[in-house]
A and B are shown apart, each in its own frame.
Chain A
Amino acid sequence: MAKTTRRRRKTAPAAVAATVDEVLGYYREMLLIRRFEEKAGQMYGMGLIGGFCHLYIGQEAVVVGMQAAIGEGDTVLTSYRDHGHMLACGMDAKGVMAELTGRAGGYSKGKGGSMHMFSRERNFYGGHGIVGAQVPIGTGLAFAHRYRETDRLSLTYFGDGSANQGQVYESFNMAALWQLPVVYIVENNQYAMGTAVGRASAQTELFRRGESMGIPGMQVDGMDVLKVRAAGDQAVKHVRAGKGPILLEMKTYRYRGHSMSDPAKYRTKEEVQRVRSERDPIDQLRENILEAGQADEAALKEIDREVKDIVTEAAEFAQQSPEPDPAELYTDVLLEA
């Protein structure tokens, strides 16, 4: 029995050999997410953003590496820690930030907020606020890809918190039964709100959670964008070959609290500091780039400046954009036939 299990488990590949342009692109994307989220945190502190605001700081390599592995027409969806996914999908930072401030220029005209944004144009299907509920929806997008007889696939993200929701396994079962084209990505940042994985999960190796349905799993260093990319490539190849779903567990870490109002007393400062100084996805890539001579300090500084400008512009737009027209209260409840 153990043998069968082992055969189902795939070994995570080593880091991908990416071109200089690709590597600099990943650096830029990760930095954009980092600076965007820092700005969002600051604007939350100024009262410009309300309600819940879940920041992605620390996890940037996961979404940037996976996005690099997929192609045009593949769909992406996730739960509510979603700003990074939207930026990685190519959604405009201005529209995302303006949604955070609840303005008419936001992706949902200010009616969705941090947790509810979508872009059909960029194949981003949300932004879902109920833990785990996005997993059957992502499986349904995979169903639609297959129904249309395309070779497109669904990237369905969830967290270690979602991993204990029943509907995740209902989805796994149907995806495996019908061999649907879906890559499940569990972003294991080690804490579901304030509960460490080991306090909530009987099986803490989350990549094994699909084993009983024959879904192969892979554990990946989610702090290394090149390793994520390599695993993503392998997973995409598996799914496009018609072999059904695959599950990637990304070992990652969030530096900030679960949401803005989380004092994070469930972990030590030393733990956070250790990850930041030893495993930070952006610092690691930066060092690699400099060591390999793929770019010099000046070139990286130029990227920093470029990213800073995008974020500054987004923050300004998000404050200048008007609040939604009061008449919008009653629109978009039903689509007119």
Chain B
Amino acid sequence: MPISILMPALSPTMTEGTVANWLVAEGDKVGPGDLIAEIETDKATMEVEAVDEGVVGRILVPAGTENVAVNTPIALLLADGEAASDLDAAPPPPAIPAAPAVAEPPAPAVPAAVAAAPPPLEAEVPAGTAMVAMTVRDALRDAMAEEMRRDGNVFLMGEEVAEYQGAYKISQGLLDEFGPRRVIDTPITEHGFTGLGVGAAFGGLRPIVEFMTFNFAMQAVDQIVNSAAKTLYMSGGQMNCPIVFRGANGAASRVAAQHSQCYASWYAHCPGLSVVAPYDAADAKGLLKSAIREPNPVIFLENEILYGRSFEVPDLDDHVVPIGRARIVRSGSDVTIVAFSIAVDWSLQAAELLAAEGISAEVVDLRSLRPLDLPTLLQSVAKTNRCVTVEEGWLGCGIGAEVAARVMAAAFDDLDAPVARVGGADVPMPYAANLEKLALPDAEAIAAAARATCYR
């Protein structure tokens, strides 16, 4: 039975075209790859090749015919042993089969996880646990060391992490304990070593990639987002990427615009990533241990100013804090202040100021920015009926904008005032001391926003 040659689609958007020219005539023998016609699309004229072997039996659409719909038969090909008399027996072209229908009902528009009740919040620290004072710096180091002892596939790489002991001394002592095979100084080559880490993770290792600061990770965003975050999905669930990207995020002090940016909302925007930003040493340790055990990429945002600060840390062999849970760091009843990282410190100061005025502020440390712990936020807002968000980054498309939208959508009736946002000034970070101070939020700015939501 003769084979129908159909009008091909030659671009993702083509629906019809012109048969510009035939390069073969009736009676010509053709084989796979032979040019047979020129087709004009809306964009260009392209050549079409034969796929099957045979003799051109009949040209159905003459050269010059315009507006020929895709999949219209344009010629008939006689296979081995067929004669011209078979042409009239040619069947109508096979209808292009639609994909078989799917039996399952369509999925809900919103993934179930968002609407689900919060997981039970087990005590992260058993009652009666002894506490020890520790800096955030040491807590991060201990978390890495404990996980490296636990799993031989965990290794640390980055600029100055080994012999220099870390640009901010986070990896102090790790080279001595684990050796150069597992604590690796890289060249200054963020794009390259980030991609190399992603490949190592696809290969089954568990890299911790330190960015001296997240400002430099901008060189590597393609590897973080396009390679690390998306590949599990693009592979239908085959290729997970267990990797931690960690380092200092946000403003330090007097280092100006290129070294003082908060990237929280950049990464929290992307499905396929988890994003955490701890405030105190206990969370820094517990969340980093969780991040290293995650089978997916985790962005771990630290803060340079907090590195040297001491907090109480549970004296446990294995202190782990789950990703995705916020923590109420101060209870209150009049207004909820939502913050993360160093902004928790400013918010606690603001709560003190407010307490002196008779306003009871509850401070929620988000800890995880993706996923957001919406249930904990909603519980707090249901109690206080007011919400202020705080971040040091720019407000536009920021974490506060996301929190405000979610709270408004889920708890509109609980709110007695619009959600207020406090954030960094909408300018590149200035160098001058006075301007830098003006560009960053502080306790007074947070307190002022809280007062406004209380109409005071």
- Residues of A with Cβ closer than 8 Å to B? 34-35, 38-39, 41-42, 44-48, 50-52, 57, 75, 101, 103, 106-112, 116-120, 125-130, 133, 135-145, 147, 166-167, 170-171, 173-174, 177, 255, 257, 260-265, 276, 319-327, 329-337
Does A75 contact B189, Cβ atoms closer than 8 Å? no
Which chain B residues lie closer than 8 Å to A135 at the CB level?
A: 195
Q: State in angstroms the CA–CA spacing of A304 and B354 once bound together.
A: 82
Instruction: Give the contact stretch, choosing among B6-14, B83-91, B122-130, B335-343.
Output: B6-14
Whether B106 lies near A335 (C-beta < 8 A) is no
**B257 at interface, CB cutoff 8 A:** no
Q: How far is the CA of A164 from the CA of B105 in the complex (A)?
A: 48
Cα(A151)–Cα(B94), bound, Å: 52
Given the complex, which residues of A lie within 8 Å of B451, measured CB to CB?
A: none
Complex Cα gap A126–B204 (Å): 15
Q: Given A45-B6, A170-B189, A174-B193, decide whether A323 and B99 contact each other with a Cβ distance below 8 A.
A: yes
Q: Is the CB of A42 within 8 A of B8?
A: yes
B97 touches A319 (CB 8 A): yes
CB-nearest residue of chain A relative to B11? A261
Q: Are B6 and A46 in contact (CB under 8 A)?
A: yes
A39, A51, A109: which contacts B12 (Cβ < 8 A)? Answer: A51
Are the CB atoms of B236 and A329 closer together than 8 Å? no
Q: Complex formed: what's the CA distance from A39 to B52 in Å?
A: 9
Q: How far is the CB of A283 from chain B (nearest CB, A)?
A: 10
Q: Which of A45, A108, A110, A129 has the most CB of B within 10 A?
A: A45
Contact B232 A335 (CB under 8 A): yes
Contacts of A34 in B (CB 8 A): 32
Instruction: Check if B49 is an interface residue, CB within 8 A of chain A.
Output: yes
Give the interface centre of A142, A167, A337 by most chain B CB atoms within 10 Å: A167
Smallest Cβ-Cβ distance to A135: which chain B residue: B195
In the bound complex, CA of A336 to CA of B242 (Å): 12
Give the residue among A137, A147, A331 with the most B Cβ atoms within 10 A.
A137
Interface centre among A118, A119, A265 (most CB of B within 10 A): A118
A-B contact pairs, 10 of them (CB 8 A): A47-B9, A101-B99, A108-B236, A108-B238, A109-B236, A109-B237, A120-B238, A140-B200, A171-B195, A326-B104
**Majority DSSP secondary structure for residues of B touching A:** loop
The answer to whether B189 and A173 have CB atoms under 8 Å apart is yes
Is the C-beta of B233 less than 8 angstroms from some C-beta in chain A? yes
Query: Given A45-B8, A325-B102, do A133 and B236 touch, yes or no (CB 8 Å)?
Result: no
In the assembled complex, which residues on chain A have CB atoms less than 8 Å from the CB atom of B165?
none
Q: Does B68 contact A (CB under 8 A)?
A: no
- Apart from A34-B32, A116-B235, what 5 extra A-B contacts exist at CB < 8 Å? A47-B70, A112-B234, A140-B195, A144-B205, A321-B99
How far, in whole Å, are A327 and B112 apart by their CA atoms in the complex?
Answer: 11
- The interface-forming segment of B38-46, B299-307, B392-400 is B38-46
Q: Is B198 an interface residue (CB 8 A)?
A: yes
Residue of A nearest to B204 (CB): A144
Q: Tell me the bound Cα distance from A331 to B234 in angstroms.
A: 11
Residue of B with least CB distance to A180 = B196
Instruction: Tell which of A141, A325, A330 touches B203, judged by Cβ atoms closer than 8 Å.
Output: A141
Q: A280: shortest Cβ distance to chain B, in Å? A: 9
Kindly provide the distance from the CB of B364 to the nearest chain A CB, expressed in whole angstroms.
Answer: 24
- B364-381 contacts to A (CB < 8 Å): none
For B, the interface residue count at a CB cutoff of 8 angstroms equals 72
CB-CB nearest in chain B for A175? B196
How far is the CB of A156 from the nearest CB of chain B, in Å? Answer: 9
- Are A261 and B202 interface neighbours, CB within 8 A? no
Tell whether, in the assembled complex, residue A144 and residue B199 are in contact, meaning their CB atoms are under 8 Å apart.
Answer: yes
Considering residues B48, B51, B104, which has the most beta carbons from chain A within 10 angstroms of its beta carbon?
A: B51
Give chain B interface residues in 178-234, CB to chain A under 8 Å.
181, 186-187, 189, 191-205, 222-223, 226-227, 231-234
Complex CA gap A263/B233 in Å reads: 32
Q: Is B409 an interface residue (CB 8 A)?
A: no
Could you say which of A116, A138, A173, A264 contacts B199, with CB atoms under 8 Å apart? Answer: A138
Greatest chain A CB density within 10 A among B41, B99, B105, B223 is at B99
Do A47 and B71 contact each other (CB < 8 Å), given the known contacts A140-B202, A174-B186, A334-B272?
A: yes
In angstroms, how far is the closest chain B Cβ from the Cβ of A114? 11
B100 touching A322 by the CB < 8 A rule? yes
Whether B10 lies near A173 (C-beta < 8 A) is no
Q: Mask for B3-24, Cβ within 8 A of A = 1, else 0? A: 0001111111010000000000
A50 with B104: CB separation less than 8 A: no
Q: A135-B195, A136-B192, A337-B293 are in contact. Are A46 and B200 (CB under 8 A)?
A: no
Task: Across the interface, name the chain B residue whose C-beta is closest to A104.
Answer: B102
Select from chain B the residue with minimum beta-carbon distance to A120. Answer: B238
- Closest residue of chain A to B237 (Cβ to Cβ) is A332
**Pairwise interchain contact A329-B99, C-beta atoms closer than 8 A:** no
- Determine if A333 and B186 form an interchain contact, defined as CB atoms under 8 angstroms apart: no
Q: Tell me which residues across on chain A come within 8 A of B195, comparing CB atoms.
A: 133, 135-137, 139-140, 167, 170-171
Q: How far apart sit A290 and B186, CA to CA, in the bound complex (Å)? A: 54
- CB distance B236 to A126 under 8 Å? no
Contact among B11, B96, B239 for A48, CB-based, below 8 A: B96
Expressed in whole angstroms, the Cα–Cα distance for A97 and B45 within the complex equals 27
Which B residue sits closest to A325, measured CB to CB? B104
Minimum CB–CB distance for B417 against chain A, Å: 34
Contact with A along B293-317 (1 / 0, CB 8 A): 1111000000000000000000000
B116 contacts the other chain (CB 8 A): no
For the complex formed, measure the closest distance between the CB of B24 and the CB atoms of chain A, giving whole angstroms.
15
In this complex, which of B14, B51, B196 has the most chain A Cβ atoms within 10 angstroms of its Cβ? B196
Task: Please give me the residue from chain A that is nearest to B197 by CB atom.
Answer: A140
CB-CB nearest in chain A for B105: A326
Contact partner of B235 (CB less than 8 A), chosen from A108, A129, A170, is: A108
In the complex, residue of chain B having the shortest beta-carbon distance to the beta carbon of A149: B181
Q: A46-B6, A46-B8, A322-B100 are in contact. Are A333 and B235 (CB under 8 A)?
A: no
Is B155 among interface residues, defined by CB-CB distance under 8 A? Answer: yes
Say yes or no for B271: interface residue by CB 8 A criterion: yes
Chain B residue nearest to A331 (CB atoms) is B237
Closest partner residue, chain B, to A143 (CB atom):
B200
Of the candidates B41, B46, B201, the one whose C-beta lies within 8 Å of that of A140 is B201
Of chain B, the residue at the smallest CB distance from A75 is: B203
The 8 Å CB contact of A137, one of B41, B44, B202, is B202
A177 touches B187 (CB 8 A): yes
B residues near A333, Cβ cutoff 8 Å: 232-233, 271-272
Closest to B182 in A: A147
Are A144 and B237 in touch, CB under 8 angstroms? no
Q: Are the CB atoms of A334 and B51 closer together than 8 Å?
A: no
A140 B198 Cβ-Cβ under 8 A: yes
User: Is B111 located at the chain interface by the 8 A CB criterion?
Assistant: yes
B64 within 8 A of A: no
B255 to chain A, nearest CB (A): 25
A319's nearest neighbour on chain B, judged by CB, is B97
Is the CB–CB distance between B203 and A145 below 8 Å? yes
